Amino acid sequence: MSTEPAIRVEGLVKRFGDRTVVDHVSMDVNRGQITGFLGPNGSGKTTMIRVMCGLLTADGGTGTVLGYQLGRDTRRIKSEIGYMTQRFSLYEDLTIRENLAFVAGLYGLRPLRKVVDEVLEGLGLSSRQHQLAGALSGGWKQRMALAACVMHKPRLLLLDEPTAGVDPKARRDFWEEIHHLAAGGMTVLVSTHYMDEAERCHFVNYISYGKLVASGTVEEVIAHAGLTTFLLEGEMEKVTAAERMLRGMPGVAETAPFGTSLHVVGRDAAALKDSVQHVAAETGTRMSATETSLEDAFIRFMSEAQDNMA
């Protein structure tokens, strides 16, 4: 098996009118891995994914998907990848079975009936196969959309916020399925806003305002952020008072309350420690050092990107 990545894009640029939505992004998606794709709303995730599956033409940069040239071998790419759109895009006036039969037919799968039966069985959709897709709840729609894009056994799966609006149980089942597929050799690129989902990925890419800000394993991304985090705990009023005091103090970049505790994050470890010690003493809260979470890192990336824009 080649070690070449499933996706490699270099200097990718995409503009809508005079707005640059993807700005010279280079990134790899390694074979057989689950790669998370993160970034705030409007940062260009969907646009990138569309470029990678040939639905949008890039205004600059080059790339290969499964070894095929982006912008040239579009038809080959389309037939060998699976793409689950952010917005439900199957037919609401068709039943689950009819939708899947349609997709299977377009990929030329045979024997049609058997293939559809198997997929329905495999994803636990058999009992609802004759329901109209439009009448399904979010979780079932998502399950059906996943079925539709894995039916032809693609080597690469692009999932655009597949679990938005889906309950925790359905999300867990969904991720189990994704890991199962990856274990079978499928490469997966999945965009998400959920931190717990990002933490389930082998690798994450974080983009902001069309620029790649961080990439690596979850640990690497956290380390790259170079943050120190302290935890302040105590009664609610004390924690609230502590947060108010900390705002704007030297070394403090972000504060985030979690119930009766407060995350305090900063880049300058020494200054941050001084400030937090001072506030802890003033308010009578307990102070401890803790590990920086992925969320802390991302929130930091987001506000730094905003500062850069301003």
Ligand X SMILES: Nc1ncnc2c1ncn2[C@@H]1O[C@H](COP(=O)(O)OP(=O)(O)OP(=O)(O)O)[C@@H](O)[C@H]1O
Contacting residues toward ligand X, per CB under 6 A: 16, 21, 39, 41-47, 86
Task: Dig out the tokens for 237 from the structure.
Answer: 């009023």
Site for other proteins in 128-187 (CB under 8 A): 148
First to last CA, the chain: 47
Shortest Å, Cβ 165 to Mg ion: 13
Please state, in angstroms and as integers, the Cα–Cα distance from residue 216 to each residue in 47, 60, 226, following that order: 21, 24, 14
Contacts with other proteins: how many residues (CB under 8 A)? 32
Q: Which amino acid is at 185?
A: G
User: Closer to Mg ion at the Cβ: 158 or 186?
Assistant: 158
Q: Of 230 and 298, which CB lies nearer to ligand X in the complex structure?
A: 298
> Which residues contribute to the site for Mg ion (CB under 5 A)?
45-46, 86
Residue 23 makes contact with other proteins by CB under 8 A: no
Query: Least distance (Å) from ligand X to the CB of residue 52?
Result: 12
Which of ligand X, Mg ion, other proteins, none has residue 44 at its interface (CB below 5 to 8 Å by kind)?
ligand X
Phi-psi group of 196: left, alpha or beta (phi > 0 → left; psi -120 to 50 → alpha; rest → beta): alpha
Of residues 34 and 103, the one with the C-beta less far from other proteins: 103
| Least distance in angstroms from the C-beta of 76 to other proteins | 6
d(CA 245, CA 306): 24
Least Cβ distance, residue 41 to Mg ion (angstroms): 8
Other beta carbons within 10 angstroms of residue 66's beta carbon come to 18
Under the binding rule (CB under 8 A), the answer on residue 87 touching other proteins is yes
* Residue closest to Mg ion, measured at CB: 46
39 touches, from other proteins, ligand X, Mg ion, none (C-beta below 5 to 8 Å by class)? ligand X
| Among residues 33, 35, 43, 85, the one that binds other proteins under rule CB under 8 A | 85
Residue 281 tokens read as 């003493």
> How far is the C-alpha of 41 from the C-alpha of 50, rounded, in Å?
16
Closer residue to other proteins, CB minimum distance, 83 or 174? 83
In the chain, which ranges are E strands? 7-16, 19-29, 34-38, 60-65, 68-69, 81-84, 156-160, 187-191, 203-208, 211-216, 228-233, 254-258, 261-266, 286-290
53 binds other proteins (CB under 8 A): yes
Would you say 56 or 132 has its CB closer to ligand X? 56
39: nearest Cα among 55, 23, 19: 23
In this structure, what is the dihedral angle of CA atoms 4, 195, 56, 150, given to the nearest 10 degrees?
A: 70
Interaction site with other proteins (CB under 8 A): 50, 53-57, 74-76, 78-79, 83, 85, 87-94, 98, 101-108, 110, 148
